[in-house]
Amino acid sequence: MVMGHGCLLRMKKTITEISAQKRNRRRVNISLDGSYAFSLDRLTAAWLQVGRELSDAEIEKLQMSDEVEVGFNQALNFLSYRSRSATEMTRYLEGKGYAPSTLKAVLARLEEEGLLNDERFAREWIENRNTFRPRSHSQLRAELRFKGLAESSIESALEESGVDDATLAMAAARKQAHRYLSSDYEIYRKKLGNALLRRGFSYATVNETLRTLWNEMQHTETVEPNKTWSN
């Protein structure tokens, strides 16, 4: 049966009230035809006014836009602690239960606004690690792979850092060496050596670092040159 024009108009619903939520001032409640219908983010509802008629399609579009806005705000909160890789953000939003279409829209918006960039993330991650908790290239690779970065992004960031494992191992050792100033060489070798191995450095790199730093600490080359690391 074909509906007349008047019937189509009656299928639309009229906004009868727009009121701010008491507990969340960033959201408003929308009432249609005298009854509460749904809530929206203020930005999504900015163009609405009492008396406006909405079709089912318009209502659905508003609710989808609102879900994207909510997801985007949650993503911003997730980013407020530190930068995230695209994979980390995807896992986070999936955990919040967003539909694939919403997730895709939020990720696209984050990328458009320069808030998600895996190449930049890799550079920042490596720079932060090198500054505060130096570790080997192999361990950095493993960490970034876990965060979903492409091999090309990882290798490019490592190359750009311009720091090799020997330099990183020495930096890591220096941060802990003060603990062993009064220790004998065996205690120093075992404890600091284990710490460096846990950071992913090779036995050869660890041995060379331990000898060089010990001699520097003692201000004399008293360590046997053939003394190597072993458990």
Condensed to tens digits (0 to 9), the pLDDT of residues 186-223 reads 999 999 999 999 999 999 999 999 999 998 887 644 44
- pLDDT given at position 132: 95
Q: pTM of the entire structure?
A: 0.76
CATH code reported for the domain at 165-218: 1.10.10
Residue 41 CA to residue 43 CA, distance in Å, equals 5
Q: Which CATH architecture has domain 59-116?
A: Orthogonal Bundle (1.10)
CA distances from 219 to 15, 192, 214, 215, 216 (A): 82, 19, 8, 6, 5
- pLDDT given at position 217: 84
Residue ranges in the chain modelled with pLDDT below 50: 1-9, 220-226
CA atoms within 13 A on the CB side of 35: 2
